[in-house]
Amino acid sequence: MAPDFPKRPFPLGIRGLLLTGIIVAGLLSAHTLGLFTSSEGPGRSGLRVALEFFSHAFSPALRSQAPPPHGGASLIPGVLEAIHQTVIFAAAGLGLALVLGFVLGFLGSTVWWSGDMGERRGIVGRLISRAVMPSVYAATRVVIALLRSVHELIWAVLFLAALGRSDFAAVVAIAIPISGTLAKLFSELIDETPRDAALVLRAAGAGPVQVFSFGLLPRALPDMAATALYQFECALRSATVLGFFGFPTLGYAISASFENLYYGEVWTYLYALLALIVMAEWWSGAIRRRMV
């Protein structure tokens, strides 16, 4: 009988194989993207451009890098104006999204067809409870899923094609996906709200609207407000992205500077966006801590 030699473990191991696969995939991706080949003239490989871009991260421009007569002007007024426009688009989009999200969340909540608000009386009332409301609930959930499944960039393309490059098209493109997210979260928050106060009101003879308005909604509002404040940060990022379609937000300034190879200006606007998001997160977080 042949001797039973112990099996040697594979030299690399599972983790080594995984790391090697990641490195190989990264190198193949870099080659496919042309990082090692010249893309913008002699000596201008993609990797060289990337290194040049990131080298400006430590020296953002405070003055315009454009040639005279506009070169050398301070960038601060332009940065503040871009931030102002970004906040306006984000606030307008969130305002519209709150209205749509609350209505859809109201209709997409199970409390209206599960009997928690009280049994409707009469033949018509029972018909509404057992047939109409479940159908409204199902249709609303489908609409909510549709709104959430399409990115704001796709909505922007659709509305730009239909309405042209108008501020209304940008606001609606921001509002639609956020309204779907808010509707889903609002409906879930309402459904998860404790029912003790609602059951007391129902036992006292209150109607469905009274039970919802005074027994459920007040207890869900703090969490709903906290959710809306978080979505404001998402609206700021969406408004920035829409700048690449020509709207005067931070994204437009970033795109214009990058196309002209003004990398110092690009980093100035990127840091301005970072500061805006951090300030919005701090502000919304402070309000959420007070409300929840």
pLDDT in tens, 185-214: 998 888 888 777 777 777 777 767 777 777
Q: What is the mean pLDDT of residues 55-66?
A: 83
pTM of the prediction?
0.76
Which range, of 70-79, 228-237, 238-247, averages the lowest pLDDT? 70-79
- The predicted-structure confidence for 13-47, as pLDDT tens digits, reads as follows 677 788 888 888 888 877 776 666 655 544 555 66
Whole-angstrom Cα distance, residue 82 to residue 1?
81
- CA–CA dist 76, 272 (Å, integer): 10
Specify the pLDDT at position 272. Answer: 93
Between 147 and 66, the higher pLDDT residue: 147
Average pLDDT over residues 106-133: 63
pLDDT-above-90 percentage for the chain: 21
Whether residue 237 has pLDDT greater than 70:
yes
Structural domains of the chain, ranges and CATH numbers in brackets: 76-291 (1.10.3720.10)
The helix, strand and coil proportions of the chain, stated in percent and rounded to the nearest 5, come to: 75, 0, 25
Judge whether 138 and 109 are in contact, CB under 8 Å: no
The two tokens of residue 137 are 């609930």
CA atoms of 199 and 205, how far apart (whole Å): 10
Among candidates 263, 105, 89, which has minimal Cα distance to 192? 105
What whole-number distance in Å separates Cα of residue 136 and Cα of residue 111? 12
Residue 278 pLDDT exceeds 60: yes
Cβ neighbours of 137 (radius 10 Å): 18
* Distances from the Cα of 287 to the Cα of 25, 50, 87, 262, 280, angstroms: 44, 40, 18, 38, 11
Please report the pLDDT score of residue 122 as a whole number.
Answer: 53
Backbone angles phi, psi at 275, to 5 degrees: -65, -40
The pLDDT score that the predictor gives to residue 138 is 84
As a whole number, the mean pLDDT across the chain is 80
What gap in Å lies between CA 265 and CA 201, rounded to an integer? Answer: 60
DSSP state of 117: T
Q: Confidence class of residue 82 from pLDDT cuts 50, 70 and 90? A: very high
Separation between Cα atoms, residue 253 and residue 263, nearest integer Å: 12
Question: Higher model confidence: residue 36 or residue 278?
Answer: 278
What is the structure's pLDDT at 9? 57
Confidence of residue 154 (pLDDT cuts 50, 70, 90): confident
Angle at 242 between CA 52 and CA 272, to 5 degrees: 50
Choice between 130 and 245, residue whose per-residue pLDDT is larger: 245
Contact 111, 193 (CB under 8 A): no
Task: Copy the structure tokens of residue 213.
Answer: 């308005």
Q: How many CB atoms lie within 10 A of CB 243?
A: 24
If residue 245 lies in a helix (H) or strand (E), which one and from where to where?
A: none
| Contact partners, residue 189, CB within 8 Å, separation at least 6 | 220, 223, 224, 227
